[in-house]
Amino acid sequence: MIKIILKRGRDESLRRFHPWVFSGAIADVQGNPSEGDLVSVHASDGECLAYGHFQVGSIAVRVLSFDDSALSPGFWEVMLSRALQVRVSTGLHHMSDSTGVSEASREISTNCYRLVHGEGDNLPGLIIDYYDGVCVIQAHSVGMFRAKKQISDALQKVYGPDLKAVYDKSSGTAPFKAGLELVDGYLYKKEGFNDDEQIVIENGQKFMVNWTEGQKTGFFLDQRDNRALVGQMAKGRNVLNLFCYTGGFSIYALANGAEHVDSVDSSKKAMMMVDRNVEINGFDSSRHTSLCCDAIDYLKNVPEGKYDLMIVDPPAFAKHRGALKNALRAYQRLNAAAISKVAPGGLVFTYSCSQVVDKEAFALAVFSAAAQTGRSVRILDRLNQPCDHSVNIYHPEGEYLKGLLLYVE
């Protein structure tokens, strides 16, 4: 096996179980690794510290294990079983019982969740989302992309008869310069399963998920808890859902007694899915309006006081640190517009999913926005990603979703 030797004194982060080895910490590479190869990482005195996937770039190794378990033939099954057990312990997944009754046949309130969240589940570079028996994989590293067949085989063992399909959707996430054959497709299909979309349930609400054509893996599972919170506060309110995608927040608001909901997104495909989700949940279409247009432009032209609950959940404004300053300005402008337009006594749920924008920077941008409007604003709650998007305590960089619930007088 190829050995990565660290410079003297550059092993502290690995001894604290941080899952990345940066290229600047490497003194020597004993061998000629290809990107994605499993390598061992050693301190300057030769002590073996970890095993992981080698890659080209500033992050040279993504650690899979701090012992030799990554070398075991059963590694993927063990790791995926551990990840599933976390979802069982938090009530997101119900295993088949001793009578053979499967999850699919139970009366359950949620049958979709994130099974693997990269470093949060000690599998850097791997995302797996579960949609009622369909696992959608996204590999963010060459090593994970090359291991996708092993991962698919392990998923079949872990889920057993409850698994309907495994779909690889890595074409937009795997490194495109690595010369990989990036074609999305099924790695496994249960006999008789031929769907590319299906209805899933989240907290009792129904959503149509299309994993072949939708963004990411088909649905934004990271807002589950925040959608439920919107539902708790939506009764009798006129709701504006900006950057709505397939209408997750809108469906929760309608289900919990909102007077009317306007959903805004620039994607025609997304708006068509919003309308389908309204229909499959049986809501009166007169209580909902789909608006396919630019969300920021729409907000600029909204009459003051028309809405008393707004959801502001834009796509990432900063995907790297070089874009941070401009992103913070954009968050400030967007939130100033929302705060200035919401009715007195109204609520604004505002979010950032940009990993490079930390909680303090985002809160400061929203503070500046509030000050710009001159209105009295209270923070009622600070919002985060849910438990299936867990953060490895040794890898705080995994905390990316942050939000504020504002009360505006």
Catalytic residues: 353
243: phi > 0 → left, psi -120 to 50 → alpha, else beta; which? Answer: left
Q: How big is the chain by its Cα radius of gyration, in Å?
A: 23
**Element (DSSP H or E) covering residue 338:** helix 324-341
From the number of C-beta atoms within 10 Å of its C-beta (0-12, 13-18, 19+), residue 191 rates as exposed
Q: How far apart are alpha carbons 143 and 74 in whole angstroms?
A: 17
Q: Which amino acid, one-letter code, is at 33? A: P
The first and second tokens of residue 226, run together, are 């925040």
Q: How far apart are alpha carbons 395 and 387 in whole angstroms?
A: 15
Q: How far apart are alpha carbons 391 and 378 in whole angstroms?
A: 28
Q: Are 129 and 221 in contact (CB under 8 A)?
A: yes
How many angstroms separate the Cα of 356 from the Cα of each of 57, 142, 319, 323? 18, 23, 7, 9
The length of the chain in residues reads: 409
Q: How far apart are alpha carbons 409 and 400 in whole angstroms?
A: 29
CA angle (182 as vertex; 177, 184 as ends), nearest 5: 155
